[in-house]
């Protein structure tokens, strides 16, 4: 029994490539389409509008196709209210649950379009009937009795239109390559960061221990001190080696200023952790004068929140490390809200973790010496992430330099 | 003085993403467009047709935009004959020369559309007025007095439409990743190779010495013996180590069957070369019974042509190596003609060289353990290349296995 | 005030390179040495014995040098008992604490040499005076009042002598390279695994989700079913995607048998997790017939313990995942005891975690497509790890094949 | 019939690890040893002397072992003159030919020790009886009638002793890792370069096109202008894109100062080549004012010789490119003589080519974003090469900066 239904698309659907992806998806999935209306935006600023009849071999296939088109922003012309089902146990989803994208999302309920708060990918929409509010909730937080949205009907997704502005980074987006003009890219990132801060925006940083091992900690500390960073996401290793470097000049026992192995250096990171445990916390260690410079020092001194998530390979760990990863994830989520840009440097684990929880409209830059890291981040759904293949130890000093240069803006 | 002109687009222009890229290009370059006609193919098999008026700030900018659109397949509705200019010296191009894409191309001359022979990227079109023939010629072969096509007027480019058939590889095309189902991909490549051979098609292989070092030479030799390969492109190293392995069981001195360094093994590759020089050529060494198995042996025995291009790092080299790279390039070009598929394994240098000379419709598969190699190949213009991130030493034995399996076709 | 002291070295100190490293260390650190006795083992099986007088500019420098030599196995000819100090708080180390290597270690107390149990790197030695027992304890487990060993006096370290047997892997140890004979290496690993199992030994596996994404799960499941694996260390991702593949044929939504994106596939991993939560645990999901094949299935059916450690990027997670990383670490430690070999595939995080807790005499093989992963593992102290640069999706099917081949042993 | 012979070793044989490697080699190859004399250098500056009796199962095995020990510097106590055999054809080696190491080498003839000129690895020693001179000759240059040294008797190799001075780079030598303090390493390289130039030494650079693509050309041009470079080795790509950048601000069509694709940029590199062909050569293009800045410009202006070797993937090429790789190799060899340091950046092909021809005592630094490149260089025999895993686009600007800083030397 062949089945068909009409959908509509609106916005910069050609310009943003959505039209193409809709056509592709339908044909790839064995369906067919007929265009009934196509009002093409004639000029740059105009949006387009299209209606298509989608056909498939049967109702089930049609639903499959529509489910995919939904994620691209397609909607039924006359939309019913979203269907809800109660979770019948904690962390147990009803069959047919709706799974979120990382794009801005709206749910129709009581004939009103309700925006979904805290959107992130691979989560679920819980609707509060009394307050008519909708929230994006991860599986781990689903409670018995929650009203979970089922299926795509009554849900509207707004994929980001391709901004002409972001375009300045566009060239890097096609392929992740080490053959790009490093200083030019760094200047652009510096310029973008300045603009965000001038407009009162917020920037987060995600960092791995390579920042310390490559001796880029002084540069990052300076960037924090200058007020460019609003929150730091990292693990035990970044904080430990930052403090180790501050106390002993070493990282994993290597003297970073001479590049040689320090005498007894293998003990330094354990001693650093032990000293912070003795003080009680990183903050107290800073206040007691034990920690006198570095990334963590600047965070404490400038009241920049940091989230240190535990991992199975941690030594110690430092008392500030949240050893339960689910609690750490919640803390990370809270601190991600409202960020305009996130810069990820030298850590695949934390980058993917943060990427998972970011809406698609947050500018995301991933700096890694290994091009495969950025590919993996994109594969995990953070398709907005822009990759920069570079060495943290050379990247951060240059970024710090260009953030200091006032001349940048006029240059651009 | 604002300038504008009308262009037309025809074919699977939405389906193939060309429409999107045209719109993007215009806006990125500061131009604007108005759609005057848009006949959308209503069904899967239908083509679309569009006419757009492109506007730019002045004639020069407009020409710039049209030049880029040309490469995407756009054409002026009423097309003039191509403009020609004589080369006034060997290897000297007239100003404004037309630079080729790797897509099928036609030149209008004497009001006829003449197909350009031997198309490849970054070359030039030489028109023979008497015979009304057009040929794609690299800079090195331009002769004084050649009629060179100038500008894009009168030139038509036909970018490949996205074939539903090729689609089976499509999933790999988005990003180059090591996280793909290796055996599934290998099965598909085997299946594609079988189909090509059944239809009388031709397959070329481009290989680096990693094939030998990882002990995949027996597998490749078998694939050649079974008749799947029509031409081999390589350098001195692949042939030398293949013969070294045949004579001594070693590659760069390592015994490949035990993984240990062979006694006196450092001399083996030089001895292998010296023996072939003594015999006169690889063919003679095979005929004299010096070389008894391996890749080069199978090439000789099965009359498979091979092109061994010299490089600055060659030891020896073997007498069959073409030490002048321009002559080697010509030989490579000749042998590339008529291939339907090229498989590149473990050599960036030769892969880019071959990629440069391939039309965009030749199926191109690039197998490398380093994802960055495929990115680089794409960056150099071979955007049709599909990357497989794998280990030659494991990939080729599995490919050989699946080429032997008759069950494959029914499985698919 | 120049200071000097005599040390002695015993064992295969030349053969194993320890003599060289001792001389290097002394000279690098600005010291000097004089050899007073040198009885060189005349034959292969003989050990050597040397006494050296080490000199430094002052006592402090001398202590520094001796501390490093200690880690190489050097000892004072007449050894005092170890010095102890009480921890004056939980997780707080006394100044001068001894930091362990991952080599077998003995402590002299009450004039007896007591072996240190559960040795692993970067931990501490707690001595139980009543029972005369010594245990290696990580910082997190130090309790107030524990008797902690201080300094190197009275501690003896026995670095592994270079075994002629392990030698078959030796060739790979020099540099981590993709240019090694893959099948030969796989055959050797298979042969080694068989030998270990025949001698009643135990093998652990550490795996990342790339095993599933590359469709190597059936091969690993078979290896487990055949009895080669005694314990599995992984994270939420490996188990989730293994179960996703079992339930839906997909991994991260990609159909692994066709290589295409599955309809609605983006929901599959969440559904898989939700189903296991509903069942209560992986074991229950197996028993209820929800999970019918795969890695986790074989673990349950064959009573193979598994430790799934949580990480900040986890979706769900599965109910079997230990979300507190310190508890997960303890569980990992318990299950690592008594292993003779550990194979690590496609996961840097878990490989480093496991590597941190392994004694240096456990055979450790690290398979990764990225050579830098093995380098990092070595840099973190697991210098015994042998790297194999290969693709999990091709490596595991070949390993499974060679484990089945009875002919292997005679071949070698 | 068991066979044995006595060898002697002299020098810093413990300190440099040679003793260890000799013992290893003998045992690995199934032989045995007995130490008859062992005078250990008592102090840092003293050399050691050892005599060993090497035993093997038969004469052939013994020869195999001695052949390997020879390469480590071992020699027979009473040395015969070297054995010679005439080449009976061009490029045809007599059986048993001696294959060179890249260490300083001496041949005994007429009871005199003759130093071998122009030593490099994998070549042969031709002895001129009249002049009593010995030269290292590659296979391609062997002429009929040349007196070729056969076997190791009468040949003495002097492996580099581990210099305490070079030691400052030592920390990087263990493993090639991206986790090293980038700025510290760059400072050290700058300091080493300054010292070499102050002592009248010579520095060569080997560069790939990534230098241009990452926009590091201005930095390298400055380093050349400041007099730090004595010769440049590269290919067509580096020179072409350097000139393209100079003429158009682009590299492979990308505007390096904005990071966007330039209008019509795909033609720029061909135009650049064509312009140079028109001028006749790079030098003439500089003199005619066509090329006004950049790497090639500085080479011409400062009379720095450059060798541009052709490769199969070349567009054009530029008229200065030597298209016959054997001629290019000879040119490279000539220009390598007398260099004290070679810095290789972003090109595996040319780095291996240059590495092949360098004596082992030349300081060799290889900068690449891919750690596997350095591994490959080492695997090819250039074991003296030190790897720096960094991004050319960030590395070179920082190197230029530190070369300018006078303060460096006092800092160290």
Please report, for the domain that includes residue C37, its CATH number: 3.30.70.2690
Nearest CA of chain D to the CA of A210: how many Å? Answer: 6
- Asked if D143 has any chain B CB less than 8 Å from its own CB, the reply is no
Domain containing residue B315 = 168-404
The band of D158, judged by pLDDT with boundaries at 50, 70 and 90, is confident
CB-nearest partner of D312 from B122, B266, B325: B325
Task: Give dist(CA C173, CA C165) in Å, integer.
Answer: 14
Task: Specify whether the CB–CB gap between C77 and C69 falls below 8 A.
Answer: no
| Interface pTM, i.e. ipTM | 0.90
Where do we find the tokens 């090819």?
D380
- Cβ distance C34 to D24 less than 8 Å, yes or no, reads no
- Between D18-28 and C18-28, two packed helices, what is the crossing angle to 10 degrees? 170
Task: Give dist(CA C2, CA C4) in Å, integer.
Answer: 7
In terms of domains, do B204 and B304 share one?
Answer: yes
Phi-psi region of B259 (alpha: psi -120 to 50; beta: other; left: phi over 0): left
Which of B53, B77, B101 lies at the terminal end of a domain, its last residue? B77
Residue B206 token pair: 């481009």
Cα-only R_g, chain B: 24
Is residue B411 situated within a structural domain?
Answer: no
Residue D91 token pair: 């490029």
| Residue range A55-108, pLDDT digits in tens | 999 998 898 899 889 988 888 877 789 999 999 999 999 999 999 999 999 999
User: What global pTM score does this model have?
Assistant: 0.90
In terms of domains, do D73 and D84 share one?
Answer: no
In terms of domains, do C61 and C130 share one?
Answer: no
- Asked if C39 has any chain D CB less than 8 Å from its own CB, the reply is no
**How many residue contacts between A and C have a Cβ separation below 8 Å?**
151
In terms of domains, do D197 and D304 share one?
Answer: yes
What pLDDT score does C170 carry? 44
In terms of domains, do B309 and B380 share one?
Answer: yes
Task: Give dist(CA A46, CA A25) in Å, integer.
Answer: 25
Is residue D218 situated within a structural domain?
Answer: yes
Provide the CA D139 distance to its chain's centre, in angstroms.
18
| Range of weakest confidence among A21-30, A309-318, B141-150, B245-254 | A21-30
Is residue B410 situated within a structural domain?
Answer: no
What pLDDT score does C47 carry? 81
**Mean pLDDT along residues C39-54:** 78
C13: closest chain D residue by CA: D20
CA distances from D232 to A24, A130, B312, D68, D205 (A): 50, 75, 15, 35, 5
- Asked if A405 has any chain D CB less than 8 Å from its own CB, the reply is no
- Asked if C188 has any chain B CB less than 8 Å from its own CB, the reply is yes
Any chains having at least 3 CB pairs less than 8 A from chain C are A, B, D
Q: What dihedral angle (degrees, nearest 10) is formed by the CA atoms of C202, C207, C213, C218?
A: 10
Q: How many CA atoms lie within 13 A of A378 on its CB side?
A: 21
The band of B68, judged by pLDDT with boundaries at 50, 70 and 90, is confident
3-state SS of chain C is CCEEEEEEEEECCCCCCHHHHHHHHHHHCCCEEEEEEEECCCCCCCCEEEEEEEEECCHHHHHHHHHHHHHCCCECCCCCCCEEEECCCCCCCCCCECCCCCCCEEEEECCEEEEEECCCCCCEEEEECCCCEEEEECHHHCCCCCEEEECCCCEEECCCCCCCCHHHHHHHCCCCCCCCCHHHHHHHHHHHHHHHHHCCCCEEEEECCHHHHCCCHHHHHHHHHCCCCCEEEEEHHHHHHHHHHHHHCEECCEECCCCEECCCHHHHHHHHHHHHHHHCCHHHHHHCCCCCCCHHHHHHHCCCCEEEECCCCCCCCCCCCECEHHHHHHHHHHHHCCCCEEEEECCHHHHHHHHHCCCCCCEEEEEECCHHHHHHHHHCCCCCCEEEECCHHHHHHHHHHHHHCCCHHHHC
Task: Specify whether the CB–CB gap between B286 and B239 falls below 8 A.
Answer: no
Is residue A22 situated within a structural domain?
Answer: yes
Task: Give dist(CA B216, CA B127) in Å, integer.
Answer: 45
CB-nearest partner of D378 from C14, C175, C376: C175
**Mean pLDDT along residues A264-290:** 95
Nearest CA of chain A to the CA of C41: how many Å? Answer: 31
In terms of domains, do B325 and B386 share one?
Answer: yes
Task: Give dist(CA A377, CA A380) in Å, integer.
Answer: 5
Residue C297 token pair: 């299935």
Task: Give dist(CA C149, CA C239) in Å, integer.
Answer: 40
- Asked if A334 has any chain C CB less than 8 Å from its own CB, the reply is no
Residue B46: pLDDT over 80: no
State chain D's mean pLDDT as an integer: 88
Where do we find the tokens 């990580």?
C138
Residue C383 token pair: 């210098």
Nearest CA of chain A to the CA of C278: how many Å? Answer: 6
Task: Give dist(CA C194, CA C189) in Å, integer.
Answer: 9
In terms of domains, do B132 and B181 share one?
Answer: no
Question: Which residues in chain A touch residue D392, judged by CB atoms under 8 angstroms apart?
Answer: 182
- Cβ distance D391 to A369 less than 8 Å, yes or no, reads yes
| Residue range D163-172, pLDDT digits in tens | 444 344 444 4
- Cβ distance D390 to A391 less than 8 Å, yes or no, reads yes
Is residue D25 situated within a structural domain?
Answer: yes
Task: Specify whether the CB–CB gap between C118 and C136 falls below 8 A.
Answer: yes
Task: Give dist(CA B48, CA B35) in Å, integer.
Answer: 13
Which of A138, A164, A190 lies at the terminal end of a domain, its last residue? A164
CATH of residue A101's domain is: 2.40.420.10
CATH of residue D198's domain is: 3.40.50.10690
In terms of domains, do A191 and A319 share one?
Answer: yes
| Residue range A306-359, pLDDT digits in tens | 999 999 999 999 999 999 999 999 999 999 999 999 999 999 999 999 999 999
**Mean pLDDT along residues B15-44:** 78
pLDDT > 90: what percent of chain D? 64
Where do we find the tokens 């080599």?
C103
Residue B400 token pair: 């050989």
**Mean pLDDT along residues D60-69:** 89
Number of structural domains found in chain C: 3
- Asked if A237 has any chain D CB less than 8 Å from its own CB, the reply is no
Question: Which residues in chain C touch residue D15, judged by CB atoms under 8 angstroms apart?
Answer: 20, 23-24, 27
- Asked if C390 has any chain D CB less than 8 Å from its own CB, the reply is no
pLDDT > 70: what percent of chain B? 93
Is residue A128 situated within a structural domain?
Answer: yes
Is residue D412 situated within a structural domain?
Answer: no
C40: closest chain D residue by CA: D35
Residue A263: pLDDT over 80: no
Is residue D298 situated within a structural domain?
Answer: yes
What pLDDT score does B44 carry? 61
Nearest Cα residue to D176 out of D314, D20, D33, D383: D383
What pLDDT score does C164 carry? 40
Question: Which residues in chain D touch residue C379, judged by CB atoms under 8 angstroms apart?
Answer: 175, 177, 179
Which of C144, C164, C184 lies at the terminal end of a domain, its last residue? C164
CA terminus-to-terminus distance, chain D: 60
Task: Give dist(CA A205, CA A307) in Å, integer.
Answer: 11
In terms of domains, do C358 and C380 share one?
Answer: yes
Q: Which of D386, D391, D392, D397 to mutate to test the interface with A (most CBs of A within 10 A)?
A: D391
Any chains having at least 3 CB pairs less than 8 A from chain A are B, C, D
Quick one: D95 exposed, middle or buried, by C-beta within 10 A (0-12, 13-18, 19+)?
exposed
What pLDDT score does B407 carry? 41
CB-nearest partner of C215 from B172, B181, B389: B181
Task: Specify whether the CB–CB gap between B389 and C369 falls below 8 A.
Answer: yes
**Mean pLDDT along residues A297-306:** 98
- Cβ distance D15 to C34 less than 8 Å, yes or no, reads no
| Residue range D271-286, pLDDT digits in tens | 999 999 999 999 999 9
- Asked if A178 has any chain D CB less than 8 Å from its own CB, the reply is yes
The band of B175, judged by pLDDT with boundaries at 50, 70 and 90, is low
Nearest-5° angle of CA B320, CA B321, CA B325? 145
CB-nearest partner of D325 from B65, B138, B311: B311
CA distances from C201 to A51, B217, C335, C340 (A): 67, 35, 14, 6
Nearest CA of chain A to the CA of B159: how many Å? Answer: 16
Q: DSSP readout, D205-272?
A: EEE-THHHHTT-HHHHHHHHHTT--SEEEEEHHHHHHHHHHHHHSEETTEETTTTEEPTTGGGHHHHH
- Alpha helices, DSSP H only, in B75-229? 167-173, 182-198, 210-213, 217-225
In terms of domains, do C267 and C394 share one?
Answer: yes
In terms of domains, do A83 and A50 share one?
Answer: no
In terms of domains, do B178 and B317 share one?
Answer: yes
Residue C293 token pair: 């094949």
Nearest Cα residue to B402 out of B193, B225, B216, B231: B193
Quick one: B410 exposed, middle or buried, by C-beta within 10 A (0-12, 13-18, 19+)?
exposed
């Amino acid at each position: 029994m062949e089945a068909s239904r009409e959908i509509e698309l609106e916005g910069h659907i050609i310009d943003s490539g959505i039209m193409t992806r809709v056509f592709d998806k339908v044909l790839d999935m064995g369906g067919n389409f007929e265009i009934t209306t196509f009002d093409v935006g004639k000029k740059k600023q105009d949006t387009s509008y299209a209606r298509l009849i989608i056909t498939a071999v049967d109702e089930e296939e049609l639903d499959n196709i529509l489910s995919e088109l939904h994620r691209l922003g397609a909607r039924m012309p006359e939309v019913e209210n979203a269907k809800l089902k109660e979770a019948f146990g904690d962390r147990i989803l009803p069959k047919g649950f709706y799974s979120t994208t990382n794009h801005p999302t709206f749910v129709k309920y009581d004939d009103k379009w309700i925006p979904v708060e805290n959107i992130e990918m691979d989560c679920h929409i819980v609707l509060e009937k009394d307050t008519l509010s909708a929230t994006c909730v991860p599986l781990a937080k689903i409670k018995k009795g929650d009203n979970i949205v089922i299926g795509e009907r009554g849900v509207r997704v707004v994929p980001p239109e391709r901004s002409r502005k972001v375009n300045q980074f566009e060239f890097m987006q096609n392929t992740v390559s080490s053959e790009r003009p490093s200083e030019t890219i760094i200047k652009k990132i510096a310029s973008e960061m300045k603009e965000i801060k001038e407009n009162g925006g917020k920037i987060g940083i995600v960092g791995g221990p390579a920042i310390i091992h490559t001796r880029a900690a002084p540069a990052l500390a300076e960037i924090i001190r200058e007020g460019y960073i609003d929150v730091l996401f990292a693990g035990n290793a970044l904080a430990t080696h930052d403090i180790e470097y501050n106390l002993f000049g070493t990282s994993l026992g290597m003297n970073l200023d001479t590049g040689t192995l320090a005498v007894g250096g293998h003990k330094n990171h354990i001693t650093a952790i032990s000293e912070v445990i003795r003080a009680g916390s990183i903050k107290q260690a800073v206040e007691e004068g034990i920690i006198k410079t570095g990334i963590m020092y600047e965070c404490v001194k400038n009241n920049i929140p940091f989230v240190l998530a535990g991992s199975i390979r941690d030594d110690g760990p430092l008392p500030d490390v949240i050893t339960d990863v689910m609690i750490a994830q919640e803390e990370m989520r809270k601190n991600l809200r409202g960020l305009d840009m996130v810069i990820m440097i030298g850590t695949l684990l934390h980058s993917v973790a943060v990427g998972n929880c970011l809406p698609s409209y947050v500018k995301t830059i991933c700096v890694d010496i290994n091009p495969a890291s950025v590919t993996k981040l994109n594969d995990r759904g953070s398709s907005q992430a822009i990759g920069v293949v570079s060495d943290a130890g050379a990247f951060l000093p240059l970024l710090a330099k260009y953030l200091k240069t006032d001349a940048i803006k006029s240059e651009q």
